[in-house]
Amino acid sequence: MSVRSKLTLRGSRVDLGASEITTSLTAIFTRLGCASEPAHQVAEHLVDTSLCGMESHGVMRTLQYAEQFKTGYINPKAVPQVVTTERNTQEVDGGGGIGIPAMHVAYQHGMQIAQASGISALAIRNVGHTGRHGAFADIAAAKGFLTICVGGGNRKKWRQVAPYGGARGMLPTNPWCIGIPGGGRGPVILDFATSKIAGGWIYAAQSAGALLPEGCVIDAEGNPTRDPEDYFNGGAILPAGGHKGYALALVAELIGEAMLGPSTTEGNWLLITLDAHRMRESSALSQAAEEVLEELRCCPPAPGYESVEIPGEREREHREKSAGIVSIPKETWDQILNLHDSLNSSS
């Protein structure tokens, strides 16, 4: 199947059914100590992300999570909980586990509050990697909610991205995700790191033996490179959009660290959820949105482009065209199979 990837593979890919992969990943997470429900939830999330064409946050993350479980960096037995703070605000405590179950809880709880009162603001703390935020935002937007999620903090541990004009990693990738109800083809979803490339693409390139796109990463001397090993040997990712990406990353860091407090595990998150239908009736919002979006789709494409795309539609289209088949770099899948077999033999 056709795969839109930022990686230049040196090897081949294997095509596998989503259910087969989900079963294997669930078994891996269960044997690493996760309860059956969160293990399956994380596995489904990773597989769906790969089906949507987001390789950087998909199946390959299994290797990263497994290593973090083994080292004790994240807690496989963690259960996310909604808690009330001393300042009488509510937040989701991830218990030091993978952040995907915590984000599920946060988006669901945020929608419940927003449905009752119009708007919600929740902090999400004490979590590991939180997965593909666009997946959560897509579900919320389809139900009529505008969501804004931003994360930052823990830059002293995650010196990944060079500030604009700098030659050394100083900030995390500090993502932003915004979801809003759209028109006839579904919600509009912005989900992006403030770096030129998500950190997951570098891990994906390393596990697959692939090269990175040009102009995204510098080595320890500040020189451009495509080799993921240069990043791990003291290099850095460049900010997206130069000074604009740097500014967004800085604001996210201030939200995550200065406003929400010291971060544990990976970083802190702020999720704002608004009931969009309190602003405008559902059908009127959808009709107005579709007028805007269709105008943009009808814009003549620039040389080298097939069409103007709407954020969020590519992922849903990729999932539909995949027909339940995930194309994974063979080198990455071999590592996952080896992990699966080693856990089997030791159990």
Residues 177-209 pLDDT 10s = 999 999 999 999 999 999 999 888 898 889 888
- DSSP states of 62-81: HHHHHHHHHHTSS-TT---E
Cβ(197)–Cβ(241) under 8 Å? no
Please report how many Cα atoms fall inside a 13 Å half-sphere around the Cα of residue 238, on the Cβ side: 19
Report the pLDDT value the prediction gives residue 9, as an integer from 0 to 100: 74
Whole-angstrom Cα distance, residue 231 to residue 302?
Answer: 33
Structure tokens at 96: 């030091």
State which amino acid sits at residue 160: Q
> Which has the closest alpha carbon to 97: 42, 136, 50?
42
How many other C-beta atoms lie within 10 A of the C-beta of residue 72?
9
Q: Choose among 58, 66, 84, 69: nearest CA to 5.
A: 58
Q: What is the pLDDT of residues 275-318, one digit of tens each?
A: 999 999 999 999 999 999 999 999 999 999 999 999 999 999 99
The tokens describing 278, both together, are: 């309190």
Which secondary-structure segment (H or E) carries 295?
helix 282-297
Beta strands 81-84 and 13-17 are unpaired
Residue 24 reports pLDDT greater than 80? yes
pLDDT at position 347 over 70: no
Please give the Cα distance from 316 to 51 (Å, whole number): 9
Domains of the chain and any CATH numbers: 83-322 (3.30.1370.60)
Report pLDDT for 154.
Answer: 87
Q: Supply the angle between the helices 330-346 and 61-71 in degrees, to the nearest 10.
A: 40
pLDDT for 204 equals 84
> What's residue 264's pLDDT?
84
User: What's the pLDDT score for residue 5?
Assistant: 72
Residue 52 in this model has a pLDDT that exceeds 70: yes
Q: Is the pLDDT of residue 346 over 80?
A: no
Decide: 150 and 176 in contact? Cβ < 8 Å: yes
Region of residue 193 (left: phi > 0; alpha: psi -120 to 50; beta: else): beta
Residue type, 129: H
Q: Which residue has the higher pLDDT, 12 or 2?
A: 12
